[in-house]
């Protein structure tokens, strides 16, 4: 038999004997450069990362890293003027007389202590940039907390919605069975079932989108390229959130806010500029000149050495415009700082009130579930046996809806809890803790 024909017959036999052979053949053709319709593709496992890894990636945030580079660059610059402002070499006639030639060196120094205040000004500029960098760091950390929360609850809500969806489908099957048996079915219940399923499908699409976006953010945070899986075994519970908030409120310290640090650094910069302006105005020594004058027409070589000293009398009124301009800037910064602190305190009070109301709402839902009479009916075998299939399904649906609503409330409460810690400055307070872990583990 011809060799190519034998090969084709063998391939056909393999194809008929085993479905896997088609995938093997496809992989062979794919290796030879031909399209492989049944080729076997090996899927890589997602990278498992912890919450600490995501939070620690804040030190690789691009905006914060670039701001740190700017601070480092500024620290390497030399802001200090030299001791000498001018160094002049003079040669020529003395005044209007061409018979006497003058040669000399004229030195004009800078104000004494100018270099020290210029260094202070540079440090003040660096302080402003450092305070801005701290704001970038805090915002980047908050983004990572929010991504973790979104990922976790999107996963939990997806699982809860699947349980609820299975109950809706089971209820629909009960309605179909009743119709086949000729039993009466309320149209209102059928319509509600259809509407609930449709609304749940939309929720599931939103959960999937939220998880996908959160996963993409986490992948960007850790600079990953493949699929990632976040390990959330130690995720904080609502009762633990209550304990953390109570402890923070009981041991609350005055944590300096990053925005307030920027205002204070800016005021320090203006004050440094005002000090620098005062020093520059204290240039009492105008110049020092050393030289000699030569008279060529005298019978002997006549060299006259001389020294001159120029003194400056500062007039502070010449800096009145700049002083007032800097004073106004200082006043405005002080006002903005006071306003920032006042508004932040208002935001904290509102946020704390919001979190407390959400905790009360969560506790109320939980108590209603635990004391629900329908749950007692389901746990009693005699009462459960007396229920019709429709009644039993309605009870299960109602209980599952309550759990689903409480899970949604848990997500909102956790987000607001992290926002409260951000406004209070607690997220960035050292030692750095993972406030989404049950044990508040350091990272």
Distances (CA, A) of 352 to 153, 355, 420, 425: 22, 5, 7, 14
Structure tokens at 49: 């990362």
* Angstrom distance (rounded) from CA 160 to CA 407: 8
**Residue 30: predicted pLDDT:** 40
pLDDT per residue rounded down to tens, the chain (443 residues): 444 444 444 444 444 444 433 433 344 334 444 444 444 444 567 888 999 999 999 999 999 999 999 999 998 888 877 777 788 887 776 666 666 677 788 888 877 778 888 888 999 999 999 999 999 999 999 999 999 999 999 999 999 999 999 999 999 888 888 888 888 888 888 899 999 999 999 999 999 999 999 999 999 999 888 888 999 989 999 999 999 998 887 666 566 778 888 989 999 999 999 988 888 777 777 787 877 777 655 555 455 777 888 877 777 777 888 889 999 999 999 998 888 888 888 888 899 999 999 999 999 999 888 888 888 888 888 888 888 888 888 888 999 999 999 999 999 999 999 999 998 888 988 899 999 999 999 98
Taking a C-beta distance cutoff of 8 angstroms, is the pair 38, 19 a contact? no
**Residue 8: predicted pLDDT:** 47
Q: Residue 265 CB: number of other CB atoms within 10 A?
A: 20
CA 36 to chain centre: 45
């Amino acid at each position: 038999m011809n060799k190519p024909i034998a090969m084709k017959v063998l391939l056909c036999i393999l194809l008929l004997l085993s479905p896997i052979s088609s995938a093997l053949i496809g992989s062979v053709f794919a290796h030879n450069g031909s399209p492989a319709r049944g080729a076997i593709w090996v899927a890589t496992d997602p990278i498992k990362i912890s919450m600490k890894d995501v939070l620690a990636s804040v030190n690789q945030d691009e905006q914060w890293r670039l701001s740190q580079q700017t601070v480092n660059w500024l620290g390497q610059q030399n802001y200090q003027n030299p001791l000498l402002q001018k160094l002049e070499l003079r040669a020529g006639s003395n005044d209007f007389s061409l018979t006497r030639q003058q040669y000399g060196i004229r030195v004009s120094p800078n104000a004494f202590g100018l270099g020290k205040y210029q260094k202070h000004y540079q440090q003040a500029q660096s302080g402003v940039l450092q305070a801005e960098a701290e704001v970038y760091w805090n915002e980047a950390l908050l983004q990572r907390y929010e991504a973790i929360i979104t990922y976790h609850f999107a996963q939990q809500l997806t699982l809860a919605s699947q349980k609820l969806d299975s109950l809706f489908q089971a209820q629909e099957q009960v309605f179909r069975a009743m119709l086949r048996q000729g039993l009466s079915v309320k149209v209102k219940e059928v319509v509600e079932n259809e509407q609930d399923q449709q609304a749940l499908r939309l929720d599931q699409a939103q959960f999937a989108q939220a998880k996908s976006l959160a996963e993409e953010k986490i992948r960007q945070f850790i600079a990953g390229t493949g699929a990632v899986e976040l390990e959330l075994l130690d995720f904080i519970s609502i009762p633990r959130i209550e304990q953390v908030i109570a402890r923070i409120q009981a041991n609350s310290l005055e944590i300096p806010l990053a925005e307030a640090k920027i205002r204070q650094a800016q005021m320090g910069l203006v004050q440094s500029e005002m000090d620098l302006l005062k020093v520059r105005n204290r240039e009492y020594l105008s110049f020092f000149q050393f030289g000699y004058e030569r008279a060529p027409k005298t019978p002997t070589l006549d060299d006259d050495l001389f020294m001159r000293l120029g003194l400056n009398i500062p007039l502070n009124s010449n800096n009145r415009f700049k002083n007032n301009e800097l004073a106004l800037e200082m006043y405005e910064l002080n006002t903005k700082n006071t306003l920032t602190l006042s508004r932040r305190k208002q935001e904290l009070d509102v946020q704390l009130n919001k979190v407390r109301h959400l905790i009360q709402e969560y506790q109320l839902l939980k108590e209603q579930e635990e004391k629900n009479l329908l749950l007692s009916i389901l746990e009693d075998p005699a009462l459960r046996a007396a229920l019709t299939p429709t009644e039993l399904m309605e009870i299960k649906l109602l209980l599952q809806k309550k759990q689903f609503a409480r899970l949604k409330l848990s997500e909102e409460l956790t987000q607001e809890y992290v926002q409260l810690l951000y406004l209070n400055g607690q997220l960035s307070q050292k030692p750095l803790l993972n406030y989404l872990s049950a044990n508040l583990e350091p990272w």
